Amino acid sequence: MKDFEYYTPTRVHFGKGAVDQIGALLREQGAHKVLIHYGGQSARRSGLLDRVEASVEQAGLAFVSLGGVVPNPRLSKVREGIDLARKEGVDFILAVGGGSVIDSSKAIGYGIPYDGDVWDFYAGKAKPQVVCPVGAVLTLAAAGSEMSNSSVISDEEHGLKWGLNNDICRCRFAVMDPELTYTLPPFQTACGVADILMHTMERYFTREPGTALTDELAEGLMRTVIASGRKALQVPDDYDARAQIMWAGSLSHNGLTGCGTVGDWSTHRLEHELSALFDVAHGAGLTALWGSWARYVYQEEPARFAQFAVNVLGCPNDFRDPAKTALLGIEAMERFYREIGMPTSIRELIGRSLSAEDLDTLADKCQARNPDLGNFKKLDRDDMRAIYQMAEG
Ligand code: NZQ
Ligand code: ZN
């Protein structure tokens, strides 16, 4: 088991009606003027924004609103938010939405007190020292941004999708009411399930020995998300299924399932290039790639994949041949992806095959951004290209 630090400062308010405390929570945080940041239409349509605004007003706080965040959130919207927040004297940002809205809020939070351009942080030209604080009302269990130290922003002008990890951006609080996720289209529920699983899997596929407790936590989380995902897709307003998924989403990306392991974020990094190039949903990009990554790397330590197959997916264990069990597990995972309507190839994801030029672009960009990718197996530029090619389908 590797030495680790575990820091997870976000205060969680979980359960039915939790949204109605939002005004009080903002006051507790010392907010005076709040930027309410949201996405397209879902939060307005469901009446959630009205509830949030009413609670903020009731607490005697001023607010301004900025909607229009799209999936794979854009740098231009972040810049718009920074300008508005400065002009209005905003001192707290409330994200109402999924990962894209929370990430956009975090980026605005970095940008408000900074003299230069916020992209400097994402490009690694500067390191943020202070932020305007962020809190979240979560409407989609998926990215885990409500408890993570990450934000991922797309510079649409240059075709870049880059992440930034820094503890200072972590949400001060996260309000999580599973009922808010009843309105999700099945595709978004499935993308969320896929992303939550992948945040756990990227930490689980480790070659670090002695991680028994973390393994048990991760395996239990993954089994629960698979079972609850099936349920929520059948019965969208099954509270308990939605609740398991929502809590798992946070635990899968707040560091808990990575304590003592050495993660391998290859599938995520390969996916970010796909969504930068084709603007696809992150969860669907992950399932299109994962089986190919897994087949490319499993022979480094088949026993780890065999453990996943048996303990998470219930595959029979062939003790004489861990590689065989490993492959059964990869196939079972892909069957689950298909069952919940997720693609298992890039062709299914984008509706066409990749050109040789696409493959080169993807591999070059991924390598440039991640010169030292992979831990389970190190991946150089040609490995990356080979995985994209295998994933074509
Ligand atoms: O814009 P609206 O109308 O709200 O619709 C959204 C959006 O179209 C809809 N939606 C959200 N809540 C809903 C709802 N529709 C009905 N009912 C609700 N309750 O869902 C669509 C997708 O939303 P989005 O926020 O984009 O999804 P997600 O939470 O999956 O976030 C994806 C982004 O997060 C990044 C991804 O790369 C991607 O850009 N990630 C962020 C991470 C982090 N900060 O820690 C880690 C992840 O690995 C990931 O990379
Ligand atoms: Zn993810």
* pLDDT tens for each residue of 326-383: 999 999 999 999 999 999 999 999 999 999 999 999 999 999 999 999 999 999 999 9
336, 201 in Cβ contact below 8 A? Answer: no
Ligand 1 centroid distance, CA of 43 (Å): 12
Ligand 1 site residues, Cβ closer than 6 angstroms: 39-43, 71-72, 97-101, 103, 139-140, 142-145, 148, 150-152, 180-181, 183-184, 188, 191-192, 195, 253, 268, 282-283
For residue 70, which atom of ligand 1 is closest to its CA? 1
Ligand 1 centroid distance, CA of 281 (Å): 8
pLDDT of residue 110: 98
pLDDT digit string, tens, across residues 37-74: 999 999 999 999 999 999 999 999 999 999 999 999 99
pLDDT of residue 370: 97
Taking CA atoms only, the protein residue closest to ligand 1 atom 16 is 184
CA distance 125 to 63: 32
CA distance 144 to 158: 26
304's enclosing H/E stretch is helix 302-311
Range 240-268 average pLDDT: 97
pLDDT digit string, tens, across residues 176-216: 999 999 999 999 999 999 999 999 999 999 999 999 999 99
Please choose, from the candidates 126, 301, 286, the residue with its C-alpha nearest in 3D space to the C-alpha of residue 194. 286
Residues comprising the chain, all counted: 393
Q: Is 89 helix (H, G, I), strand (E, B) or coil?
A: coil
CA distance 52 to 96: 9
pLDDT digit string, tens, across residues 26-42: 999 999 999 999 999 99
CA distance 137 to 267: 28
CA distance 301 to 345: 24
| Assessment of whether the complete model's pTM goes beyond 0.95 | yes
Ligand 2 centroid distance, CA of 198 (Å): 7
Ligand 1 centroid distance, CA of 99 (Å): 4
Q: Which residue has the tokens 């304590």?
A: 259
Residue 68, sorted as left (phi over 0), alpha (psi -120 to 50) or beta, turns out to be left
- Which of 45, 110, 140, 200 to probe ligand 1 with, by most ligand atoms within 8 A of CB? 140
CA distance 146 to 10: 8
CA distance 139 to 106: 16
Q: Is 276 helix (H, G, I), strand (E, B) or coil?
A: helix
